[in-house]
Structure 1
Amino acid sequence: MIETTKAIVINTIKYGDTSLIATCYTNSCGLKTYMLKGVLKAKKAKVKTAYFQPLMQLNLTANHNNRGALNSIRDVEIINFYGTIYSDIKKQSIALFLSEVLYYSIKEEEKNEALFEYLETSFLWLDMHSNISNFHLLFLLNLTKYLGFYPKLNSVNLLYFDMLEGRFISSSSSNTVSGEKLDQFKRLLGINFDAIHEVNFNASNRQNVLSILIQYFELHLEGFRKPKSLNVLKSVFN
């Protein structure tokens, strides 16, 4: 079926010498994977490799096949051009890291307009702002709302956070966070990106919270892997 939809690039891998396989999150039908035949050698083709950088926002006209099958793209254009994400080293590192997180987190081939809007508006915010050192932390935390395991905020004043249950508890058990690390984690709860400048983490704080979030994703998402770009991200923000 031929469909036109907005899409966000999540991942690309090389296929053979001349082709790419691109995974995108679409507004109309969730996660879709496309075969881009000959795109690496065709200089005048409508579909260009430059369109498929991490988190690029596109408008696709595509032939969508049955669930799980590779799809093909008939036409593509860039929408919501980024002005800084691919030229700023910190934003580049965030984009690469978050594209890996999304690749391991989103599996559903079904429409979820709320999730798509969150991705779309978040990446535009990243592009337009300069105070972005903690962006990836808040992005991951708020992403859990759409994936179904945002922390339960009742009893938030208790001394331990049970990552497996996603709730605050009064005594320590396995997979709990407490003390200073928990205090840092709590500073992100309930805020949006426009309030992120109020969270003054140093490099150590940032690494502590990132480690908590990565473990939280690992506990709740089957098949989730630590992104290969994690060390690069840590290095850039140290």
Structure 2
Amino acid sequence: MQVTTKAIVLSSLKYGDTSLIVKAFTQTDGLKSYLLKGVLASKKGKLKAAYFLPLTQLELTATHKNKGTLETIREVKVLNPYKSLHTDIVKNSLVLFLAEMLGNSIQEEQQDASLYNYLEYSMQWLDSNETIANFHLLFLLNLTKFLGFYPEESEGINSYFDLQEGQFVASPTLNPLIENENAASFKRLLGINFDALKGIKIAKGIRESLLKSVILYFELHLHGFRKPKSLAVLNAVFD
């Protein structure tokens, strides 16, 4: 079946000497993988490797057989071209990290328009704003809404966040916890949008510790989730 759909690139892997396997989250069919034969060798073809950088927003005309095999792309054009995501070293490191997190988290080959719209908006926001030190923390927390394990917010004085149960508790449990200053910063990120990040300051050490906890939160709640290899690069950039 031929479809035309928006898509966001999650990964691009070299296959053989001249081809790529591209994994993308599509607006119409969820997660899809495509084989781009000869794209690295052809300079005149409609498909160019530069179109498939992580988190690039595309419009694809593709053939979807929906049999769990690699699909094919007939035509592609870039939507919402980025001004800074792939040229600013900090933003590019964020993009590589978040693309890997998304690739390890999204498993469904089915339409999820709300998730697609969230990803599209988030990357456009990141591209056009400069107050981004805590962007990845809020991005990942809000992502859990679509994956089904958003933290249960607490209106009381509960000062420990139980990562296994996904909720704040009044006293320590045997499960992994976010506590003390980390828990206070964690609470401040719940229920806000990206524009509110301008008013939130989190110390570097707490930010790194929180990110480790958020990644563990994903591990605990997503079957088969793998820790991102790009985390070390991200930490180095924010050093």
TM-score by length of 1: 0.98
Whether contact under 8 Å (2:164, 2:176) holds in the other structure is yes
Stretch of structure 1 that moved more, 61-70 or 50-59 = 61-70
CA distance in 2, matches of 1:190, 1:18: 45
For the structure 1 residues 87 and 196, does the alpha-carbon distance in structure 2 shift closer, same or farther, using more than 3 Å as the test?
Answer: same
Partner deviation per Cα, 1:126-179 (whole Å, 9 max, x = no partner): 000011111111100100000000001145531221111111112211222221
Kindly indicate whether residue 230 of structure 2 is the aligned counterpart of residue 234 of structure 1. Answer: no
The match for 2:105 is 105
8 Å Cα contact 1:54/1:96 also seen in 2: yes
The answer (yes or no) to whether the contact 2:157–2:170 under 8 Å persists in 1 is no
Unaligned runs of 5+ in 1: none
Alignment partner, residue 223 of structure 1: 224
Unaligned runs of 5+ in 2: none
CA distance in 2 between counterparts of 1:131 and 1:226 reads 26
> Which shifted more, 15-24 or 150-159?
150-159
- 1:184 is aligned to 185
SS in 1 for 2:4: strand
Amino acid at match of 2:46: K
**Number of positions where the alignment pairs a residue of Structure 1 with one of Structure 2:** 238
* Partners of 1:97 and 1:233 within 8 A in 2: yes
User: Secondary structure of the residue that 1:165 maps to in structure 2?
Assistant: coil
Question: Matched residue of 1:158: which SS?
Answer: coil
**2:159 and 2:184 in contact (8 A); partners too:** no
Hey, what's the Cα distance between the residues in 1 that align with 2:154 and 2:192?
16
Task: Read off the aligned partner of 2:44 and give its amino acid letter.
Answer: K
Q: CA deviation at 1:211?
A: 1.1
**Poorly superposed stretches of 4+, deviation over 4 Å:** none
SS in 2 for 1:153: coil
1:29 maps to 29
Is the alpha carbon distance of 1:165 and 1:67 closer, same or farther for their aligned partners in structure 2, counting shifts above 3 Å?
farther
Query: What is the TM-score when the length of structure 2 is the normalising length?
Result: 0.97
Q: CA RMSD in A?
A: 1.0
Question: Quick check: 2:19–2:40 contact (8 Å CA) kept in 1?
Answer: yes
Identity of aligned residues (%): 53
* Cα shift at 1:206: 1.1
The 3-state SS of whatever aligns with 1:131 is coil
Whether the 8 Å CA contact 1:67–1:109 is kept in 2: the answer is: no
